[in-house]
Amino acid sequence: MSDIVSLGQPTVGDEELKAIAEVFASGWLSGAGPTCAKFEKRFAEITGTDDALATNNCGAALHLGLTVLGAGRGDEVIVGDYTFPATGHSVAWTGATPIFADIRSDIWSVDPAAVEAAITPRTVGILAVDVFGQPADYDELQAIADKHGLWLMEDAACSAGASYKGRPAGSLADIATFSFHGRKGITAGEGGALTTNRADLANHARKLHTYGIAPALSREGSADLPIPNFDELGFNYRMSDVAAGIMLAQLERLNTLVQSRQRVADQYGTLLADIDGVQAPVALADRVHPWQSYVVTLDATVDRGKVAAYLKAHGIQCNFGTYASHVQPVYGFSGHLPVSADLFMRHLAIPMHANLTEDEVDRVAGTLRAAMAS
């Protein structure tokens, strides 16, 4: 009878196609070109930062950020536990050890008290995660970082359009990193960005993201024959100019998309309020939540697998929330983080994207109600 309601869906159309055509016509399709430069300028404005660097994904931006902050072998970086494992992986890529810290039970970002408790003489920095886009507690985290001489990073993978006490996501730490993967609020299919107010970090990250030399754009139009010198082992973490064109069109939509998601969240909030065993997510008044995902918490007595199977059988896509990092075997982490471990088992993501209609949201909520009663 009914179509499938998808868990997430990009909002792309004629504007993005037009942007792609313009990049094709320009002849510069590869990365770090003029369209990337335009995107970076615009993204820095939106995030209220001095510099933005376009990358091919958020994992690359995380790796660059940690590298230019100096993380390496023998170091410990405290990481918010509840996240897609790109966060923990990026720390491990540098040779440093991710030390996972437990999360707040309401908004699921790292608990500042757990961060403080995890500090050792080896700690060099804190990598907080804006879980599903809602910013973490940056005032408290910055105070801890200052007190102990640590740097602070924001995994803002899901945070485009978010803010904390009036300050935009991306500007809340020494470095922030964004994802433009297809499941995020704005997307080029794949993509990422690093933002910072520190020119030294921005310049170093820009160099490392293009194999350790200045981007080709800086040599364009030169009258002589500049020959770059490779003095540092960089990577190819460039965003293509094709993706940057798509991203420029997506930035035009950003406000509308966040408003649409807020409308969906408001409607869910009303419809789910009286379903026994289901708790709606919390959005704190001092921050703007961009609702990358909408994740409900089921009571411990509820059989999540059964609820999920019911939803799927009725055409409603769903998923778990995100990952408790510390239980992933790849890290060999020995601690137990009870809040994160528990929510990893009880969270259920239901459809959230900017294209959902009121009727679809009604249908999702009604089906979840029926699933809980079944």
Ligand X SMILES: *Cc1c(COP(=O)(O)O)cnc(C)c1O
Contacts of 171 (CB under 8 A, 6+ apart): 47, 48, 49, 195, 197
Q: Is 238 a binder of ligand X (CB under 6 A)?
A: no
Q: Which of 184, 207, 306, 312 is catalytic?
A: 184
Whether 169 contacts 58, CB under 8 Å = no
Q: Is 192 a binder of ligand X (CB under 6 A)?
A: yes
Q: Is 176 a binder of ligand X (CB under 6 A)?
A: no
To ligand X, the closest distance from the beta carbon of 349 in angstroms equals 12
Kind plus residue range of the DSSP H or E element containing 21 = helix 14-26
Q: Is 371 a binder of ligand X (CB under 6 A)?
A: no
User: Can 38 be counted among the known catalytic residues?
Assistant: no
CA distance 138 to 80: 13
DSSP 10: -
Q: Out of 8, 10, 31, 59, which residue is the one contacting ligand X (CB under 6 A)?
A: 59
To ligand X, the closest distance from the beta carbon of 257 in angstroms equals 17
CB-nearer residue toward ligand X: 152 or 307: 152
Whether 288 contacts 161, CB under 8 Å = yes
Residue with tokens 């970090």: 201
CB-nearer residue toward ligand X: 136 or 311: 136
Q: Is the dihedral of CA 338, 85, 233, 156 positive or negative?
A: negative
The interface mask with ligand X, positions 123-142, x = CB under 6 A, is ------x-------------
CB-nearer residue toward ligand X: 133 or 368: 133
Q: Is 264 a binder of ligand X (CB under 6 A)?
A: no
Q: Is 158 a binder of ligand X (CB under 6 A)?
A: yes
CB-nearer residue toward ligand X: 160 or 365: 160
Q: Is 140 exposed, middle or buried (0-12, 13-18, 19+ CB in 10 A)?
A: middle
To ligand X, the closest distance from the beta carbon of 226 in angstroms equals 32
Q: Is 57 a binder of ligand X (CB under 6 A)?
A: yes
Q: Is 172 a binder of ligand X (CB under 6 A)?
A: no
Contacts of 106 (CB under 8 A, 6+ apart): 282, 284
Going by C-alpha positions, the residue among 248, 252, 226 that lies closest to residue 239 is: 248
Q: What is the largest CA-CA distance in the chain?
A: 75
To ligand X, the closest distance from the beta carbon of 129 in angstroms equals 5
Q: Is 155 a binder of ligand X (CB under 6 A)?
A: yes
Q: Is 58 a binder of ligand X (CB under 6 A)?
A: yes
Whether 128 contacts 141, CB under 8 Å = yes
Going by C-alpha positions, the residue among 289, 285, 316 that lies closest to residue 3 is: 316
Beta-bridged to residue 78, according to DSSP, are: 99, 126
Interface size with ligand X, residues (CB under 6 A):
14
Q: Out of 47, 67, 87, 240, which residue is the one contacting ligand X (CB under 6 A)?
A: 87
C-alpha distances in angstroms, 139 versus 89, 124, 144, 181, 348?
26, 18, 9, 28, 29
- Candidates 57-65, 69-77, 211-219, 280-288; binding stretch for ligand X (CB under 6 A): 57-65
- Candidates 82-90, 198-206, 260-268, 353-361; binding stretch for ligand X (CB under 6 A): 82-90
Name the site residues for ligand X (rule: CB under 6 A): 57-59, 83-84, 86-87, 129, 155, 157-158, 179, 181, 192
Active site positions, annotated: 184
